Amino acid sequence: PKYIIPDCFSGFSPRGDRGGRGGRGGRGGFGDRGRGGFRGGRGGGFKSPDGGFRGRGGGRGGPRGRGGRGAGRGGFGAGKKVLVEPHRHEGVFICRGKEDALVTKNMVVGESVYGEKRMSVEEGETKIEYRAWNPFRSKLAAAILGGIDQIHIKPGAKVMYLGAASGTTVSHVSDIVGPDGLVYAVEFSHRSGRDLLNVAKKRTNIIPIIEDARHPHKYRMLVGMVDVIFADVAQPDQTRIVALNAHNFLKNGGHFVISIKANCIDSTAAPEAVFASEVKKMSAENMKPQEQLTLEPYERDHAVVVAVASPPITYTCE
């Protein structure tokens, strides 16, 4: 599989070092807001009386790390012209500038969900906005950049997303499926659920479900039949969870896209062994695996498995 590492993300160091950059990352966020494309955050209306505070330095630390912030901004300065072309996968695009990035078409123009970069492109008369998709934060983006053959998430599809967390990847899936599709986002944690609810407020094709995915009968009232199940739950019994949900809600011949974290299933075994055992479990549950792909260099010991529901789906266990 081809590795396209967009340089604009090289500033984002891999997960392990994320902590160290925390503080500066926050400041970088300020800088982004300082440039064009203000969001509601600053628009509160208070104009800081800089006259009173200017130049009262006095004894504070000297120059901060300027290099780090500069690299983080990457190749997309404000106002640079970029070219956006469609990706092989429907609904996904590639933005070509000084560095290349994976982008999706923004459904809520002018808003950034988790502080990601947005780029506007003129399409004749209309302006279309795209949001950058960070493969270090999203397993689906990492899989696409890793060269997965089919993600099955396309415009107009109905997707069930297990393990939605704060809604960062869910927002991109929502962009891909567009206004005709639906994303049922299931997340059990209340903290993340609050953020998910905020994301769902703006996007009407996301249906937020704050429930345990282990009990799909609890949210049977809200969900119809879906075409694809995307699972990023990171639980040791995740195959069983996916199977339960599929039994209830996945149409015949529907697809699964499952992200497997080797550490989470069994931290003592070798990752390859874990992946193989998971695939075997999936076959036992009437899921026919079609592809498997590791998420190097974005994640360590992670894999994505694409499977199809082998018809007919009959389950003896309840």
Partner 1 sequence: MLVLFETAAGYAIFKVLDESKLQQVDSLYKEFETPEKANKVLKLKHFEKFQDTTEALAAATALVEGKIGKSLKKVLKKVVAKEAHEQLAISDAKLGGVIKEKLDLSCVHSPAVAELMRCIRGQMESLITGLPPREISAMSLGLAHSLSRYKLKFSPDKVDTMIVQAISLLDDLDKELNNYIMRCREWYGWHFPELGKIITDNLAYCKTVNKIGDRTNVAGSDLSDILPEEIEAEVKLAAEISMGTEVSEQDIGNIRHLCDQVIEISDYRIQLYDYLKNRMMAIAPNLTVMVGELVGARLISHAGSLLNLAKHPASTVQILGAEKALFRALKTRKDTPKYGLIYHASLVGQTTAKNKGKISRMLAAKASLAIRYDALGEDTNAEMGVENRAKLEARLRQLEEKGIRRISGTGKAMAKADKYQHKSEVKMYDPSGDSTIPSTSKKRKFEEVEEEEEAEEPVTPVVKLKKPKKESVAEEKKKKKKKKKAKEEEEDDD
What is the smallest separation between the CB atom of 100 and partner 1, expressed in angstroms? 29
Tell me the closest approach of the beta carbon of residue 203 to partner 1, in angstroms: 11
Kindly state whether residue 288 participates in binding partner 1, applying the rule CB under 8 A: no
Dihedrals phi, psi of 31, to nearest 5 degrees? -60, -40
- Beta strands 250-261; 226-231: pairing state: parallel
Residues 41-60 contacting partner 1, CB under 8 A:
41-42, 44-46, 48, 50, 52-60
Give the single-character DSSP code of 18. G
Determine the interface stretch with partner 1 among 61-69, 82-90, 234-242, 279-287 (rule: CB under 8 A).
61-69
Rounded to whole angstroms, how far apart are CA atoms 228 and 153?
7
Amino acid at site 198: N
Among 192, 163, 194, 195, smallest CA distance to 183 is for 163
**By CB under 8 A, which span of 92-100, 134-142, 243-251, 285-293 interacts with partner 1?**
243-251
Q: Which of 219, 230, 256, 298 is the binder for partner 1 (CB under 8 A)?
A: 219
Binding mask 181-200 for partner 1 (x = CB under 8 A): -x-------xx-xx--x--x
Decide if residue 36 touches partner 1 (CB under 8 A).
Answer: no
Q: For tokens 């004749």, name the residue.
A: 124
Phi, psi of 234 (to 5 degrees): 55, 55
Helix (H) or strand (E) holding 221: none
Tokens of 147: 């060269």
Smallest separation (angstroms) from partner 1 to the CB of 59: 7
The Cα–Cα gap between 259 and 280 comes to 15
Positions that interact with partner 1 (CB under 8 A): 22-23, 26-27, 30-31, 34, 39-42, 44-46, 48, 50, 52-64, 66, 182, 190-191, 193-194, 197, 200-201, 204, 207-211, 217-225, 247-249, 251-252, 311-316, 318
